[in-house]
Amino acid sequence: MIQYVYQRYGERGAAMTANVITYRSKLAAREMGKVLGFEPDSLSRLAATAGSWEWRGPEDTFEEYFRKAGFDLNNSRNQLLPGFMQAC
């Protein structure tokens, strides 16, 4: 597909076809929280928690990180958090 775009639109027109957007963990957490409709204070807690997401052992799970940050995982919206972060 890239070759087709390159041939059709030339070198300058094809330059943007290979760009990939990446997010750092704090920004990804903040954007995910916005999509889920979190309040600004919750977004801040979520982004602050993202900086410590590092596997240190079997007890290190996203669920545990969210509990430590004060998110109630019995809430249906909050239950989506671990799945979203595993997908990132």
Q: Which helix (H) or strand (E) holds 78?
A: none
Tens digits of residue pLDDT in 9-61: 887 777 665 567 777 878 888 888 888 888 889 888 888 877 666 777 777 77
Q: Which helix (H) or strand (E) holds 6?
A: helix 2-14
Q: What is the pTM of this model?
A: 0.55
Model pLDDT, residue 7: 86
> Can you spell out the DSSP letters for 38-77?
--HHHHHHHHHHHTT----STT--HHHHHHHTT--TTSTT
Angle at 21 between CA 78 and CA 81, to 5 degrees: 5
Model pLDDT, residue 78: 79
Task: Work out the burial of residue 50: count CB atoms within 10 Å of its CB; fewer than 13 is exposed, 13-18 middle, 19 or more buried.
Answer: buried
Model pLDDT, residue 31: 86
